[in-house]
Structure 1
Amino acid sequence: MTTDACQPTLTLLPYAPAGRRSPMTCHYRCATSCATPVQNRSANAYFGDVVRSAVSRRGVLAGLVGLGVAGAAVAGARPAAASPGGGDVNLLADPFDPGHAVEFEVIAPVPAEVDSFAVPAGWTWAPLISWGDPILPGAPEFDHENQSEAAQLGQFGYNNDYTTIVPLQDPNRALLVCNNEYTNEELMFRDWVDSDSATEEQLRISIAAHGMSVVELRRAGADQPWGHLRESVFNRRITPWTPMAFTGPAAGAKALRTSADPQGRTPVGTFGNCAGGTTPWGTVLSGEENFNGYFSSPETEGGQSDRYSVYGSSGRGWERVDPRFGAGTEPNEAHRFGWIVEVDPSDPTSTPRKHTAMGRMKHEGATVSLAADGRAVAYMGDDERFEYLYKFVSKETYREGDREHNLRLLEDGDLFVAVFEGDGIDDERYDGRGRWVALTRNGRSVVPGMSVEEVLVNTRAAADVVGATKMDRPEDVERNPVNGRVYVACTNNTQRGTLGKTGVDEANPRPLNKDGHVVEIVEARDDAAATEFAWNLVLVCGDPEDQSTYFGGFDPALVSPISCPDNVAFDTTGNLWISTDGNTLGSNDGLFEVVVDGPDRGRVRQFLSVPTGAETCGPVIADDGRTVFVAVQHPGEVDGATIDEPASTFPYDGTGQPRPSVVQVRKD
């Protein structure tokens, strides 16, 4: 392949719209947001403006060197890459010794119609816990045909997404914490038609299946598999009915007050919990994402006040059993969702807290690092088309061993949004510099015309005002613990560059972007609290034979195809691990290792594949690379699938019905 043929192009490319996501997924997860008008109607700069105002690449790099930014030139056109072994190389033969934390032979993509959980040779998998498994005293064994609200409140929740393992003092004990994002009622109830005809008990079961689950894990030794405890003092379900507390500058704001909570300080429940993060002080953060589709509000308010698509929703019928989900009855209830929730899994009696200082949006999650001076820094993506990338920096600093102090770090601090600037297209690179623009400082708004309460409750509108860069669904955002760089998974945006929609820019270079890309950020002085950064695209995902893809400079003939990056994680050597959601290439979603440093930078290798209709979530690389945990969300979520005609029977437990599960994959 010639060098010219491998270079990425920054011009508009013909691209097939829409991915493989089923209408069932769209309906339940995000209230079919792709069929609704784009909520971000701001006139922020796009590609044409960026190109016209771009400074020269030499000037950008000189400026970044002055800021002390390392690795500013790490990016590049897709160069021709010779086979390291010479001649043709069979990817599946895996001829290279990666020398990485996780040793495995790459697997081939599994066709979407094949219902299997595939792992490399020399590895085995088993479900660790599944929807409906009892975790609280008195909870019955799961019975698909005889469900009840009382049973579900004591059982593991549905559609496990973000997954983390919080260690206890004993190395053979740990706590599993999972988000339970949403429910697929067609796959839960045999006689389900729709929410209008559902029984109140069915609605209550569905509500109880949302939220979070905390479960103690134990194993016999370091070389033995983990198992979950049916009953433990730590086990807990957090649901849409769990009492919570607001913290921060917007707590008590008029927009957060309801008839049941006239002080606006004690919200009830959480749902739409997508990704999250584990803090250095041992708590777990959960992002409330697609909360808008849960409120019945047939009226369309429109305008800036509805940047969250709440108005015009038919809801999920929850208002039939809980009036607060009728937006006409309680118009402020929707404002009480869309926050970052902090949970202390080590204290099952603790009250979860929603941190208003971190802003309200459709949070994919929040991941925490420590700045050079010890302040806590949380990175957050707002998962919707043309939305933004955020960062929160705490006012106080982390104190080792001072748990009471650290538990308050996220209650006060500064909120920023990212502005990306390209350096022009003449260097044939997707790279440039950027700024973290403040929305709040010292508990006050710095957005013209908006109070601090308005900024934090309507954060999207505040980011519009300061000209933030519209991204292609920024989802998981994490800082690499080895190289210090930040990686942003932009899942896709099939409306980029369409008629009347925002066009391409250098940070989102592909129109009709159905396969997504990954942004790499190098912050000034390698400090998480810095307000300036360099950036580049380490991956432009899709079919490696498509000339619009880019794999960090690695030969595209030698990579696994990857589409729709979602959650990210890292192993002990700093390799990036990406789970996918919505693969458009005719294969099931999976988990992929990506090299981000050295001569193999950009090399993608597929580690596992999840079943038909499922999404890969919450990867955790543990035990020095000998164990990998993944959450298999919504198996069998295929349009038209029912209990009588399931598209998947994962986890293949003999029931013949799909059950979302957390899986542990172990090296033999």
Structure 2
Amino acid sequence: MSNAKKLLPMLGHTRGKRSAVTCALKCDNACSKAVCNTSTNSYFRDIASAEFSRRSAMGIGLAGALSAAVLATGQGALPVKNDDGPKAAAGRLAFAPIAPVDAAVDAFNVPAGYDWSPIIRWGDPLFDHAPDFDFANQTQASQAGQFGYNNDYTDILRQPNGKKGLLVCNHEYVNPQIMFPAAPANEWQAQSRRNIFRNAVGMSVVELEREHKGTPWEYIRGGKLNRRITMDTLFELTGPLAGSDLVKTLRDPEGRQVQGTLGNCSGGTTPWGTILSGEENFNGFFRTNGTSAEDRRYGLANAATGMGWEQEDPRFDARGTDFRNEPNRFGYIVEIDPENPYSVPRKHTSMGRFKHEGANVIIAKNGKAVAYSGDDERFDYLYKFVSKNKYKPNNKAHNMTLLTEGDLYVAQFTGNSAVEIDGSGTVPADGAFDGTGTWLPLVVNGKSAIAGMGVQEVLAYTRLAADKAGATKMDRCEDVEPSLATGKVYVACTNNTKRGLPGQAPADETNPRAENRDGHIVEITETRGDSTATTFNWTLLMLCGDPAKNSETYFSGFPADKVSPISCPDNLAFDTAGNLWISTDGAPSVIGYNDGLFKVGLEGANRGNVQQFASMPRDAETCGPVIHDDESMVYVAVQHPGEDGSYGKHTSYFPDYVAEGTTPAPGQVRAPRPSVVQIFPAGAGTKPGKGNGRK
């Protein structure tokens, strides 16, 4: 894998700042391969007003641990109302929008009046026994005790007094080219590094502490709740696939336990305080026969993998009978309890198997838990899960069973002005891209709704079931977030450069641009405001891009010459005023700016007004936004800074910037390190120390 840059099929085919290295490492060059969906379907975090119920103490016997009264005020949707939630003045986070930053610039930029610092970086030790980070001497054991690589979904869970909290974060993939100072000298060293990589992915839970509410955090080294979840962590399978022949392997003949989690992208925080994580690009880690319809639909192939884990662990080689089902054990929504480091995390098969970007839960009027999730691949689908049982306030044990059993649906969209759509992005004569939709059943009342497929087949091969149902092909549904301020659901469609090309699905009103390089945002209003409804109305909030250089943009009627250019929307969050916040992955495709974080108005005259709040360092993607505007603080996960570099020839030095020609301070290394960053008002407090955390 040290030769990662030798085989880059996307080299010369990416636009803007998107790196061909990212394409190779993150999604196995998906855009260079044949489209997985060959069906002929018809072609037509911090949450606003989030008020979280206080949870009773769990009694898990951890002296000094955070109490179970931690307030989950991040991205997860939660319509349970009481008097314990944040009461910020609406729109308290005032700022002057920053100008976009050229992609050649290596800097982390925030508005005037704000400052930033990393809370935690790749390699920072989480446990007392874990060594300090050392680029030249990483080991499998040291990485298992340190913060993982390429942080994505993030949430900050706060205690009521605001002085203590928990940071929970996903680790999606690794970049060997910039993680080590030289290529492996022999096969032993190559194997050692592959083992390090297995401990660098997964998830982290980290205790936080600060002087008082509104001041910067420091992480606690040796915190009682600190935890690393890696490829060695044991998971429990739940739902109809648990015990199925479709998930049994030589090592797990009962089909009920899975070792590890892969490709963890975005996620969500549940009303009961657990964290959901989406297993996204899992296919690139497995070698299969690649001949079955199921393999092809999931992008599984008979080719050596980029990570090469199949070289020492046969479960990643699914060509034989012993582990042919191993890929079927990945591609789910994972749930962990961050307040119990000894709990067994779960993989929920009832929510379907596909490239989950993440999942976000809202409690419907009838008390059922409803989870929305996007399948992040060109021409794939939008899904909804409705629990069989109902949410019970202050009953965490019960609520942690809600995602194990329920109904699964996939979305079909119809446009009101379909005959006017020509792929140009021109707004229809009625002044909007809009229409109606239906949630098509896949599994209902424990029974398959798809002819010729049983429940277990529908849940193991959900993409094939959705093809048969007639779902609408979308332009890479990524984060899907419901707003508590309005009940509307927002879907980030990142891009789809294949849209409208010969042999591919043409533009439709929900995806109205051919060769859609900049992406768009879909707004869904469930019928009667009922999250369990099987019909909905929809409209497009925006067609992203740079209005100064691309006429194919739309911002719900807001003057295009007054918005910040924005491209490739990825993760979503809300503030207490109901504004939508968007993090980007790819940046404006024509002009080549660094990725950023943006605020967008959703109501009245401000609807569609895009304002840039932050800009990422060179080559980096913006992930996991958390908006705590009740204390004027914002958090982002900075993923793959300096992705295009190599060790000793780095393209970024984030976050430990030091002046050229000077000696780095202790703990600082002249190489990039993915980090979770906090943004706060200048003067809110002294910057915390970097690197070792508090004891």
Among 128, 131, 134, the alignment partner of 1:143 is: 134
Contact 1:245-1:352 at 8 Å conserved across structures: yes
Paired letter, 1:650: F
Contact 1:195-1:317 at 8 Å conserved across structures: no
- The alignment partner of 1:566 has SS state of strand
2:316 and 2:502 mapped to 1: Cα distance?
A: 35
Residue 517 of structure 1 corresponds to which residue in structure 2? 520
Which consecutive unaligned segments of at least 5 residues does structure 1 have? Answer: 1-15, 48-97
- Aligned counterparts, 1:4-15, within 5 A: none
Paired letter, 1:619: P
Residue 328 of structure 2 corresponds to which residue in structure 1? 335
Residue 81 of structure 2 corresponds to which residue in structure 1? none
Among 547, 555, 559, the alignment partner of 1:555 is: 559
Paired letter, 1:192: A
Summarize the Cα distance change of 1:557–1:194 in structure 2 as closer, same or farther, 3 Å threshold: farther
Contact 1:289-1:338 at 8 Å conserved across structures: yes
The answer as to 2:632 corresponding to 1:626 is yes
The answer as to 2:133 corresponding to 1:124 is no
The answer as to 2:310 corresponding to 1:311 is no
- Aligned counterparts, 1:227-266, within 5 A: 227-266=218-257
2:245 and 2:179 mapped to 1: Cα distance?
A: 38
- Aligned counterparts, 1:16-55, within 5 A: 18-47=15-44
Q: For residue 312 of structure 1, report the CA deviation from its aligned partner.
A: 3.1
1:355 and 1:226 mapped to 2: Cα distance?
A: 33
Q: For residue 314 of structure 1, report the CA deviation from its aligned partner.
A: 1.9
1:319 and 1:169 mapped to 2: Cα distance?
A: 47
Q: For residue 19 of structure 1, report the CA deviation from its aligned partner.
A: 4.8
Residue 461 of structure 2 corresponds to which residue in structure 1? 458
Summarize the Cα distance change of 1:377–1:245 in structure 2 as closer, same or farther, 3 Å threshold: same
Residue 355 of structure 1 corresponds to which residue in structure 2? 348
1:265 and 1:404 mapped to 2: Cα distance?
A: 20
- Alignment RMSD: 1.6
Q: For residue 168 of structure 1, report the CA deviation from its aligned partner.
A: 3.5
Residue 643 of structure 2 corresponds to which residue in structure 1? 637
Q: For residue 533 of structure 1, report the CA deviation from its aligned partner.
A: 0.6
- Aligned counterparts, 1:277-296, within 5 A: 277-296=268-287
- Aligned counterparts, 1:36-185, within 5 A: 36-47=33-44, 100-168=91-159, 170-185=161-176
Q: For residue 404 of structure 1, report the CA deviation from its aligned partner.
A: 1.1
1:152 and 1:30 mapped to 2: Cα distance?
A: 23
- The alignment partner of 1:550 has SS state of coil
Contact 2:214-2:631 at 8 Å conserved across structures: no
Contact 2:161-2:213 at 8 Å conserved across structures: no
Q: For residue 255 of structure 1, report the CA deviation from its aligned partner.
A: 1.2
Q: For residue 159 of structure 1, report the CA deviation from its aligned partner.
A: 0.2
Q: For residue 296 of structure 1, report the CA deviation from its aligned partner.
A: 2.6
1:193 and 1:593 mapped to 2: Cα distance?
A: 44
Q: TM-score, normalised to structure 1's length? A: 0.88
Q: For residue 23 of structure 1, report the CA deviation from its aligned partner.
A: 1.2
2:442 and 2:469 mapped to 1: Cα distance?
A: 8
Contact 1:388-1:470 at 8 Å conserved across structures: yes
The answer as to 2:674 corresponding to 1:660 is yes
Summarize the Cα distance change of 1:313–1:21 in structure 2 as closer, same or farther, 3 Å threshold: farther
Q: For residue 31 of structure 1, report the CA deviation from its aligned partner.
A: 0.5
Among 255, 264, 267, the alignment partner of 1:276 is: 267
CA deviation map 1:239-285 (0-9, x unaligned): 11100100011111111000000111101100100000000000000
Summarize the Cα distance change of 1:44–1:137 in structure 2 as closer, same or farther, 3 Å threshold: same
1:243 and 1:524 mapped to 2: Cα distance?
A: 40
CA deviation map 1:159-200 (0-9, x unaligned): 000001123455311110000000000011122379989621
The answer as to 2:607 corresponding to 1:616 is no
Structure 1 window deviating more from structure 2 (616-625 vs 404-413): it is 616-625
Paired letter, 1:450: M
Q: TM-score, normalised to structure 2's length? A: 0.84
Residue 357 of structure 2 corresponds to which residue in structure 1? 364
Identical-pair percentage:
54
CA deviation map 1:292-346 (0-9, x unaligned): 001133x431424531111234212112232211122411111100000000000
The answer as to 2:446 corresponding to 1:448 is no
- Aligned counterparts, 1:394-405, within 5 A: 394-405=387-398
Summarize the Cα distance change of 1:184–1:197 in structure 2 as closer, same or farther, 3 Å threshold: farther
Contact 1:17-1:514 at 8 Å conserved across structures: no
- The alignment partner of 2:624 has SS state of strand
CA deviation map 1:339-361 (0-9, x unaligned): 00000000000000000000000
- The alignment partner of 1:449 has SS state of coil
1:421 and 1:332 mapped to 2: Cα distance?
A: 37
Contact 1:565-1:578 at 8 Å conserved across structures: yes
- The alignment partner of 2:646 has SS state of coil
2:547 and 2:407 mapped to 1: Cα distance?
A: 41
2:375 and 2:183 mapped to 1: Cα distance?
A: 32
Residue 493 of structure 2 corresponds to which residue in structure 1? 490
Paired letter, 2:39: S
- Aligned counterparts, 1:495-506, within 5 A: 495-506=498-509
1:513 and 1:276 mapped to 2: Cα distance?
A: 25
Among 574, 585, 607, the alignment partner of 1:570 is: 574
1:197 and 1:596 mapped to 2: Cα distance?
A: 55
Paired letter, 1:356: T
1:652 and 1:347 mapped to 2: Cα distance?
A: 32
Residue 612 of structure 2 corresponds to which residue in structure 1? 606
Contact 1:305-1:458 at 8 Å conserved across structures: no
Summarize the Cα distance change of 1:488–1:214 in structure 2 as closer, same or farther, 3 Å threshold: same
- The alignment partner of 1:432 has SS state of strand
Residue 413 of structure 1 corresponds to which residue in structure 2? 406
2:233 and 2:479 mapped to 1: Cα distance?
A: 26
1:105 and 1:266 mapped to 2: Cα distance?
A: 50
Paired letter, 2:519: G
1:354 and 1:461 mapped to 2: Cα distance?
A: 20
Contact 1:196-1:317 at 8 Å conserved across structures: no
Contact 1:161-1:631 at 8 Å conserved across structures: yes
- The alignment partner of 2:136 has SS state of coil
2:620 and 2:160 mapped to 1: Cα distance?
A: 34
Residue 69 of structure 1 corresponds to which residue in structure 2? none
Contact 2:237-2:347 at 8 Å conserved across structures: yes
Paired letter, 1:562: I
1:403 and 1:439 mapped to 2: Cα distance?
A: 28
Paired letter, 2:162: P
Q: For residue 17 of structure 1, report the CA deviation from its aligned partner.
A: 7.6
- The alignment partner of 2:194 has SS state of helix
Q: For residue 99 of structure 1, report the CA deviation from its aligned partner.
A: 7.3
1:19 and 1:44 mapped to 2: Cα distance?
A: 31
Contact 2:499-2:515 at 8 Å conserved across structures: yes
Summarize the Cα distance change of 1:538–1:349 in structure 2 as closer, same or farther, 3 Å threshold: same
2:92 and 2:490 mapped to 1: Cα distance?
A: 19
Summarize the Cα distance change of 1:332–1:198 in structure 2 as closer, same or farther, 3 Å threshold: farther
Q: For residue 137 of structure 1, report the CA deviation from its aligned partner.
A: 2.9
Summarize the Cα distance change of 1:197–1:519 in structure 2 as closer, same or farther, 3 Å threshold: farther
Contact 1:17-1:512 at 8 Å conserved across structures: no
2:295 and 2:646 mapped to 1: Cα distance?
A: 38
CA deviation map 1:15-59 (0-9, x unaligned): x98553211001100000111100000000114xxxxxxxxxxxx
- The alignment partner of 1:624 has SS state of coil
Q: For residue 403 of structure 1, report the CA deviation from its aligned partner.
A: 1.1
